[in-house]
Amino acid sequence: MTETTRRNRLAELTYSIALIGLPVVAVVGVIVPVALGEPNLGILGLYLAIPMILAPVVARALRRRDGSGSLPFRQAIDWRLPSIGIHLVVALLAAMLVVFDVRPTAFFVGLGVLYGLVFALIVSSESEPVHIAVSLYHCSLALLVSIFSVTLHYDYFIGRTDLPAHVAMMVSVYETGNMPDRWAVYDPFPLWHTYTASAYALFEGALSPHTTMVLVSGLVFGGGVLMLYVLARRLHPDPTVALLAALVLVAVPDYVFYGMYSISRSVASVLFVVLLFTLVAGTDVRMRLLTITFVVAIVVYHTVSIPFVVVLLAVLLVAERLYAARGPIVSSERWSRPRVVDGSILLIAGAITSIYWLYGADLLAVTVINRLVSTVAGTGPADGPPGGIELFPWREVANYLPHSFLLFFVLAGFFFWFERSHARGARFGPVAVATVAMVPLLVPGPTLLLDSLAGINVTRFAHYGFPFLALTGGFGLFELVRRTGVRGFIAVLLLVSSFSMVALSNDFVASDNPLVEREFYTYYLTDAERAEFERLEAVHTDELGSDHITCRYYEDILETDCTRIGVDDDTVVHDDLDGVLIREGELEQRPLQLEGSQYVYAEDVPWDELGERNRVHDSGTVTYYR
């Protein structure tokens, strides 16, 4: 049996197994939790089960329907029309931000229309240089609207509570040239804080440190859209596929959120896209040195990212060994190297990381090793599944819904690629296989379960795996439109608009959307809250207790001690605290996160006991008891 025959049979076997196996796994994944007495987990599993059933059905229905070889609306309309529409929608969205303090539901609908117009723009004309440049500009514009409508609109975006600490680090680097003593673990990778501190210095105080950081982060992620496009162009010869991959990228919730979240590992995500490009660009000495440079950049910018990067590259390496041809794909020199990853780059990454950890990050290495040992020994954190799944399963399904669309596009791309025999040896096939293999690591449901059972932060893989989702999902979109004609174009347009709307309005990205709010904290502090914190900090001298978010601000920005209020048997414990600060404005909307990630609703707060204290201050949003 020749190598080509073996690979073709493997591709056929993969296609056949996935066509039958995915629906079976989907049904089992819903039925088993219900049978075990966990119906809410079965309900949550629907967000994965539906695309796993639907994608094989669609792939089977459209099998061998290659269409005319071009997209149905190509050259049918002037691409300048959707471009004008995009600018009008952006202007309308900007007006909403001026009029409304909190983004209304109509804003998220407008985002869906915006992304739908970008999709129409991409597929409406032949991919000539001007059309490509305009399409990429609009993809980046859509992303920046999604990011800055949060980070520059709301008073003080905090993300998942880490951003105030990173703002404090940046300010310390700017003022003293060093990291704060309490954040010594970040000493081995201060480049992101140095970079943003330099930007802050360039603005000469015209922008606050917080605004500078979120502005720079958004712009970096906007540049990542261009890098994803050039990466996709090296993997697939049709520029429309690359443009659609860029469009999928700017709707991936993790990519949008980390564009908002200006912390060290954010920029490592974009650096990984550049690293992938250097790997596909060639193996000559210059490109190999450039590859090593970006490995070093990831290690130095956020050294904890590199193990996750290596694992993802290893998955791609295995897929390429199984599915990629050995010889040239086509005669062009650009496509003469079918494999992207080889074992040497993984060894180089491991060696660089080991040397850096040994000589430049020994404290960090000890921290990571201790965490691994505690996990293996069974003493690591295992808090169980998030409470929201048990309390509000359908609301959780709504928040996970964007991953249903994303998984459908990815699986469609996977099936369409392996159904086309003439394409099985090209670079894109292994990428599709690797993407599907990575799905348990890249979508939140399975990773949250793994986190709770093993105590390993598996969700970190999603911070770096989004290029694979975008590449395979973009190809799936391309084939769906190409195979289904004008009616299919309209259907896919609606899918893209719906996907982008739920991707940008779910609570992982938009905690200001009241339709899908979850049992967690709001991702931003108001100016009124921060003003009260600073006013009370000036007069309070003894032990202060409050919720987790407030304490993060007191500790990181105000550099003042703060104790998280305890919870014992669902009872709030505050007797040992001299002062208690309650964010009543936040409590009217959501529960407060107290000690040990315990969430307490307004009705569970012991107001009678607090009433026995002196209510020294009440601003309507913040109340202070002594």
Q: Where are the domains of the chain?
A: 3-505, 526-625
The pLDDT confidence band at residue 328, using thresholds 50, 70 and 90, is very low
Contact between 267 and 229 under an 8 Å Cβ cutoff? The reply is no
Which residues lie closer than 8 Å to 541 by C-beta, 6 or more apart? Answer: none
Strand intervals (E) in 85-238: 156-157
Beta partners for 524?
A: 157
- Mean pLDDT over 166-183 rounds to 88
Rounded Cα distance between 281 and 270, Å, is 17
Contact between 104 and 510 under an 8 Å Cβ cutoff? The reply is no
Contact between 124 and 77 under an 8 Å Cβ cutoff? The reply is yes
Q: What are the structure tokens assigned to 457, written together? A: 């932060």
Which residues lie closer than 8 Å to 271 by C-beta, 6 or more apart? Answer: 294, 297, 298, 301
Rounded Cα distance between 23 and 35, Å, is 18
Backbone angles phi and psi of 552, in degrees to 5: -60, -40
- Mean pLDDT over 239-263 rounds to 93
Q: Is the pLDDT of residue 375 over 50?
A: no
Residue 9: its pLDDT value, please?
Answer: 80
Residue 334: its pLDDT value, please?
Answer: 46
Q: What are the counts of helices (DSSP H) followed by strands (DSSP E) for the chain?
A: 25, 11
Cα 340 to Cα 210, 262, 351, 468, distances in angstroms:
38, 30, 20, 13
Cα 253 to Cα 388, 444, 499, 507, distances in angstroms:
19, 11, 10, 10
Max Cα distance, the chain (Å): 85
Residue 515: its pLDDT value, please?
Answer: 56
In which residue are the tokens 């703060």 written?
Answer: 562
Rounded Cα distance between 33 and 43, Å, is 9
Rounded Cα distance between 467 and 428, Å, is 13
More confident residue, 33 or 409: 409
The pLDDT confidence band at residue 457, using thresholds 50, 70 and 90, is low
Give tens-digit pLDDT for 187-239: 778 899 999 999 999 988 789 999 999 999 999 999 999 999 999 998 888 89
Closest CA to 236 of 227, 245, 224, 249: 245
Give tens-digit pLDDT for 19-65: 899 999 889 888 887 887 777 777 778 888 999 999 999 988 887 66
Contact between 614 and 573 under an 8 Å Cβ cutoff? The reply is no
Q: Is the pLDDT of residue 450 over 60?
A: no
Q: Is the dihedral of CA 93, 94, 99, 104 positive or negative?
A: positive
Q: Is the pLDDT of residue 329 over 60?
A: no
The pLDDT confidence band at residue 454, using thresholds 50, 70 and 90, is very low
Mean pLDDT of the chain: 82
Coil, helix or strand at residue 551? helix
Give tens-digit pLDDT for 490-508: 899 999 999 999 898 877 7
Rounded Cα distance between 444 and 452, Å, is 12
Q: What are the structure tokens assigned to 485, written together? A: 């004609």
Cα 376 to Cα 133, 381, 385, 460, distances in angstroms:
50, 11, 20, 19
Rounded Cα distance between 457 and 102, Å, is 32
Cα 378 to Cα 372, 382, 617, distances in angstroms:
10, 9, 46
